C-alpha cells in the first residue's frame, strides 16, 4: 500500500475508487489536526459524505472545477457524482 504524507493529512491510494457513476474517496485526518481536501466536481451539490450532502457545510467552496473542503479530525467517505 502506498501512503503519502503532507504536513497535516495522510492519503492512502487504495481508498480511492470508482463505483458506478461515482468517484469514492476515503480520507483520514489524524487527531488534533485539520486538513483541506480538494475534489474535482462540477458543483458542490454533486458531493456527499457518508451519503449526506455537503452543500450546507461551512467554508466549502468551488473554483475552477475543484471543490475545497475543510476537514477536522476524523474518517470521511466522500462520493462525487460523475454526471
Q: Please report where in the chains the cell 469514492 appears, as a residue.
A: 24
Strand ranges, E, within 1-83 = 3-5, 10-12, 16-19, 22-40, 47-49, 52-53, 61-63, 66-81
Q: Which pLDDT does position 63 carry in this prediction?
A: 92
**Cα–Cα distance between 80 and 24 in angstroms, integer?**
7
- Would you state the CATH architecture of domain 3-81? Sandwich (2.60)
**Cα–Cα distance between 18 and 36 in angstroms, integer?**
21
Q: Which pLDDT does position 20 carry in this prediction?
A: 76
Encode pLDDT of 6-41 as tens digits: 444 555 444 666 777 888 888 888 888 888 999 989
Phi/psi of residue 2, nearest 5 degrees: -100, 130
Amino acid at each position: 500500500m502506498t501512503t503519502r504524507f503532507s504536513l497535516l493529512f495522510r492519503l492512502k491510494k487504495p481508498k480511492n475508487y470508482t463505483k458506478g457513476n461515482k468517484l469514492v474517496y476515503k480520507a483520514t485526518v489524524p487527531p488534533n489536526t485539520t486538513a483541506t481536501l480538494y475534489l474535482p466536481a462540477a458543483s458542490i451539490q454533486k458531493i456527499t459524505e457518508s451519503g449526506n450532502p455537503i452543500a450546507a457545510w461551512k467554508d466549502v467552496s468551488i473554483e475552477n472545477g475543484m471543490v475545497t473542503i475543510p476537514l477536522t479530525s476524523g474518517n470521511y467517505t466522500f462520493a462525487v457524482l460523475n454526471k
